[in-house]
Structure 1
Amino acid sequence: MPAGIQVSDLGQVALPVVSTLGKVGLIVVIVGFFAATFGAALEAGLAASYSVTQYFGRRWGKSLPPVQAPYFHLVIMVSLLSGTLFILTGVDPVTVTEYSLVFSAAALPLTYLPILVVANDRAYLGERVNSLFTNVLASIYLVVVCVVSVASIPLMVYTKAGQ
């Protein structure tokens, strides 16, 4: 930052390494970029596949061959293909991530409140329900989550998503 340099894309991240280590540094950076991005893509594909196939009651597992778990492997391939096509559109993935985080913050009370209700259901949990102290803390947290939820989208609009 003191030199007035700002990194705006992945290629610029490699410049200091390449200027210091030359061609060897470039090879190391390319292998690192590939490992990080491909690993993240596979992890996202696996997460999507586990979620979808378990939800629909299909056979699942990365150790099963495609013949035994065809839907599991199909969802992985569709996820990877969808991600690749999405990147080819030119949409900035960081912007998409920022918007998705804001919308997940806005939806947080919708996921937190049902858990809090179940945590107090004696018919379901018996003697393992929340204590009074836990409920007080959980209620305070629920208020905080609701405030964040209500403020998240207006703040995103007001700040133009941090730009």
Structure 2
Amino acid sequence: MVKYVEGSFNEDYIQTLGVNFMDKKVQIKSTNITFLIWDLGGEKEFINMLPLVSNDAVAILFMFDLTRKSTLNSIKDWYRQVRGFNKSAIPFLVGTKYDEFVELDFQDQEEITQQALRFGKAMKLPVIFCSTSHSINVQKIFKVILAKAFGVKLVLDEIVNVGEPILVYK
């Protein structure tokens, strides 16, 4: 969120405890659009704030740490909870810390990538791997959101190969 809105990455950024909010104005085909971006911490104690950030959402990004498989496994529960509040939002599965992920053994990369792609297919959601520290796919996440939300044709090559920054959105 901070990388997209402010264009910066802070190594000392403290992960969200509770809810954080930012906005960003963009122009698409001479129409001004304001992204209102809410960030909800991923710990179970913040589940009671889920309606606040999801009820009126157009898109919902389910974020997980590519270097910690347990965070990917917890996505199923978050997905079920969110869909109870908002069935119309466009869901996305976003793996973070791609820069650290590529340092893992190939077998671990393959296992996490295949599991993320399976989840994406089963839940019918785009899968994107990103790195905020290395500016990998951060802008593309929001391009895909805009394209899906407004029915705009998007010309981005999909990436499905293990070890590369996955980008599956069709």
TM-score (norm 1): 0.24
Higher-strand-fraction structure? 2
Greater RCO, CA 8 A, separation 6+: 2
Work out which of the two has the higher radius of gyration on C-alpha atoms and give 1 or 2.
Answer: 1
